[in-house]
Amino acid sequence: MSLEAAIEKLTAAVEANTAALKGGKVSAADKAIEAEAARAAGAGKTTAAKKPAAKKVTLDTIKERFGGYLGIEDKAERKARIANVQAIVDHFGAAKASELEEENWAEALAFLKQYEDGEEPDFGGDAGDGEEALV
C-alpha cells in the first residue's frame, strides 16, 4: 500500500473517530487508529540523526577555531575574516577572541560558524576593521 493510500485510510479512520468523540464514544480501537495515523503522518518525514553530545568549549577550542579561521594565505580574504572576528569580539565587548568571557564562548563559536557558512550574523552593531591580534 502506498503512503498516500495509507494516509487516506487513516484520515478516514480519524474522521470516524472524531465523529465518535463528538458522540462521547471512544473505543480502545479508535485510540489505536489515532496512534497509527499519527505514526503514518510522521513516516513521510525524515528523521534527523541524533547529534553527538556537545563537547565542552574551552579556551583552547576558542583559540583553535578562531586561529584556524584567520590562518589563511589570501590577504584580501584574511582582511575580510579579521573584520568578521572583530565583529564577534566587539559584540561581546572583548579586545580579542581569547579574552571572551567563558559564558560567551558557545555563542561566539555559533557566530563564527555562521561566517564560515557564508552567513552574516546580526549583532545589532558595527564590525571593527582593526588589524591587531584577535585571537
Same domain? For 35 and 57 the reply is no
Evaluate if pTM is beyond 0.75. no
Same domain? For 65 and 123 the reply is yes
| Confidence at residue 60, expressed as pLDDT on a 0 to 100 scale | 93
Same domain? For 55 and 19 the reply is no
Same domain? For 57 and 116 the reply is yes
Same domain? For 76 and 28 the reply is no
Same domain? For 56 and 37 the reply is no
| Confidence at residue 89, expressed as pLDDT on a 0 to 100 scale | 94
Which parts of the chain sit beneath pLDDT 70?
Answer: 20-54, 124-135
Q: Any long-range contacts for 111-115 (C-beta under 8 Å, 24+ apart)? A: 111/87, 112/65, 112/66, 112/69, 112/84, 112/85, 112/88, 115/69, 115/81, 115/84, 115/88
| Confidence at residue 115, expressed as pLDDT on a 0 to 100 scale | 94
Domain, as residue range, for 75:
51-135
CB 89 within 8 A of CB 134: yes
| Confidence at residue 86, expressed as pLDDT on a 0 to 100 scale | 94
Same domain? For 80 and 35 the reply is no
| Confidence at residue 42, expressed as pLDDT on a 0 to 100 scale | 64
Same domain? For 71 and 14 the reply is no
Same domain? For 87 and 104 the reply is yes
